[in-house]
Amino acid sequence: MIQKRFDALPSGAPSIINASESHMALVLVLDVSYSMEGPPIDQLNEGLNRFKDEVCRDKQTRDILDVAIIQFNDSFEVVQDFVPIEYMQPIQLEANGATKYSEPIREALRMVDERSRFYRRSGSEPYKPWVILVTDGAPLDNIDAVVREIADMQNAEKARFIALGVGDYDSNTLKRLTDVVFRMEGTDFSSFFNWVGKSMRSVSTTAPGEKAPLPPLEGNVFRDVSDI
């Protein structure tokens, strides 16, 4: 499997804003396999870029939220390493290839754990980081090990893992990964990213370790309550 890392920050971007304040890390793990071609990938790109703009309108959230983006098919790339959200680069993902989950998820877990350590070294107590998986298919690789790794991270309160199923996604597989699985009807990601943005704003009003009230789902996004 080929992994490409883009560790350099965008020109002029600080590694962190207001290091003495609490910060939150968000990693988006995005399926760019061939089945996402056309409207799904186009609207995912649009939703991502609008998400940045909308979050940055709220200064409190903008100053605490750091974002990283991993794209995956049968390999994966870190297309945006952690950066304060206002310095997030425009995203233009392209769809091709097959679907393998384990390595990109494992990388996301490693990244949020490392980022939390970075915050503490900087003098900041971190909020619990979020990892969000977006996929429209079933993986070709064995996910047994990464299922255990997610459970270990969540049980230790080191991460929150959320999955969004798009199109003909595999509900049973996503529910093996996490008990927080959403489904999206159609290909318009605006309601989902609006929910993520509102959730980040809610977190920003609490102290690390406090449970932030999350907004209700809206539009074309629903909780997946189907039986496994």
What confidence tens digit (pLDDT) does each residue in 196-222 have?
999 999 999 999 999 999 999 999 999
Q: Tell me, what's the pLDDT at 165?
A: 98
Residue indicated by tokens 């089945």: 35
Q: Tell me, what's the pLDDT at 19?
A: 81
By the 8 A CB rule, do 142 and 112 touch? no
Q: Which of 160, 166, 197, 152 is nearest to 179 (CA)?
A: 160
Q: Tell me, what's the pLDDT at 170?
A: 96
CA 153 – CA 86 distance, rounded (Å): 28
Q: Where are the domains of the chain?
A: 19-207+217-223
Q: Tell me, what's the pLDDT at 228?
A: 46
**pTM reported for the whole predicted model:** 0.94
CA 16 – CA 219 distance, rounded (Å): 33
Q: Tell me, what's the pLDDT at 11?
A: 58
- CATH number of this structure's domain 19-207+217-223: 3.40.50.410
SS3 string, 83-95, reads EEHHHCCCCCCCC
Spans of the chain below 70 pLDDT:
1-12, 227-228
